[in-house]
Homo-oligomer: A and B are copies of this chain.
Amino acid sequence: METITENQKLKVAKKLKKMFGHMDRRQMEYCPIRDVMALASDKWSILIILYLGYYPVMRFNYLKKRVYGISNKVLSERLKHLETDGYITRTMYPEVPIRVEYALTEFGHSYLQKLMDLTEWVTEYSEVIIASRQAKSGVQTN
């Protein structure tokens, strides 16, 4: 758990400045990261993507079994979103019992890697979070 130098902080601030102009106005209203994160970082999408990273192709009911607790509706919604945004492909085989397979696109794999980075970071720091929560030990609405 390395500490962060003032220098690094300044670097980040500089990057932010570059990214969002002078950041004052409501330019931040459209924020690409917000856009993307909001769409692919909900709890179900993350699991779906992680699973597809492990099992290269998965069918609807497979996913449903694995992604424990998800409903048909939500699974179908998420898959559609993820497909729309290019994270996954959907291949339909018009056989008699129809078969549909989902798989990550290159883009999806790329996202998965970022997700893995985050996962590692989270794993490293999760005790910090847990500890912090317990320290405040208030009623955690979440």
Q: Report if A99 contacts B (CB, 8 A).
A: no
Contact of A43 with B32 in the complex, beta carbons under 8 Å: no
Q: Report if A59 contacts B (CB, 8 A).
A: no
Contact of A86 with B28 in the complex, beta carbons under 8 Å: no
Q: Report if A92 contacts B (CB, 8 A).
A: no
Q: Report if A46 contacts B (CB, 8 A).
A: yes
Tell which of B23, B31, B39, B142 touches A39, judged by Cβ atoms closer than 8 Å: B142
Contact of A112 with B12 in the complex, beta carbons under 8 Å: yes
Contact of B54 with A23 in the complex, beta carbons under 8 Å: yes
**In whole angstroms, what is the CA distance A122 to B41 when docked?**
13
Tell which of B8, B15, B131, B142 touches A81, judged by Cβ atoms closer than 8 Å: B142
Q: Report if A95 contacts B (CB, 8 A).
A: no
Q: Report if A96 contacts B (CB, 8 A).
A: no
**In whole angstroms, what is the CA distance A18 to B28 when docked?**
38
Contact of B107 with A54 in the complex, beta carbons under 8 Å: no
Q: Report if A74 contacts B (CB, 8 A).
A: no
Q: Looking across the interface, which residue of chain B has its beta carbon closest to that of A31? A: B47
Tell which of B23, B35, B37, B129 touches A36, judged by Cβ atoms closer than 8 Å: B129
